[in-house]
Structure 1
Amino acid sequence: MVKLRLTRLGRRKKPVYRIAAMEELSQRDGKAIAYLGTYNPLVEEGKQIDIKEEEVLRFLQNGAQPTRTVKSILTKEGIWEKFQATKKK
Structure 2
Amino acid sequence: MAVHIRLTRRGRKKCPFYRIVVADSQCARDGKFLDILGTYDPKCDPAAVKIDTEKLNHWVGKGAVPSVTVRSLIRKQAASAA
Equivalent residue number for residue 7 of structure 1? 8
| Unaligned stretches of 5+ residues in structure 2 | none
Partner of 2:18: helix, strand, or coil? strand
The amino acid of 2:35's aligned partner reads A
Q: Which runs of 5+ in 1 are unaligned?
A: 80-89
Question: In the alignment, is the contact (CA less than 8 A) between 2:4 and 2:66 conserved in 1?
Answer: yes
Q: Once superposed, what is the RMSD of the aligned Cα atoms?
A: 1.2
- Deviation for aligned residue 1:50: 1.1
Kindly, what percent of the aligned residue pairs are identical? Answer: 38
Q: If you compute each CA radius of gyration, which structure gives the higher value, 1 or 2? A: 1
Show structure 1 runs of 4+ deviating over 2 A. none
Structure 1 counterpart of 2:25, one-letter code: E
State the Cα distance separating 1:75 from its structure 2 match: 1.0
SS of residue matched to 1:60? helix
Cα shift at 1:76: 1.1
Q: Structure 2 matches for 1:53-72, cutoff 5 A?
A: 53-72=53-72
Offset from partner CA, 1:29-86 (integer Å, 9 cap, x none)? 0011001100000102x1111111100011011110010000000111129xxxxxxx
TM-score (norm 1): 0.84
Summarize the alignment of residues 1-89 of structure 1 with structure 2, pairs less than 5 Å apart: 1-44=2-45, 46-78=46-78
**TM-score where L is the length of structure 2:** 0.91
The separation in 2 between residues aligned to 1:50 and 1:78, in whole angstroms, is 11
1:29 is paired with a residue whose SS is coil
Aligned residues between the structures: 78
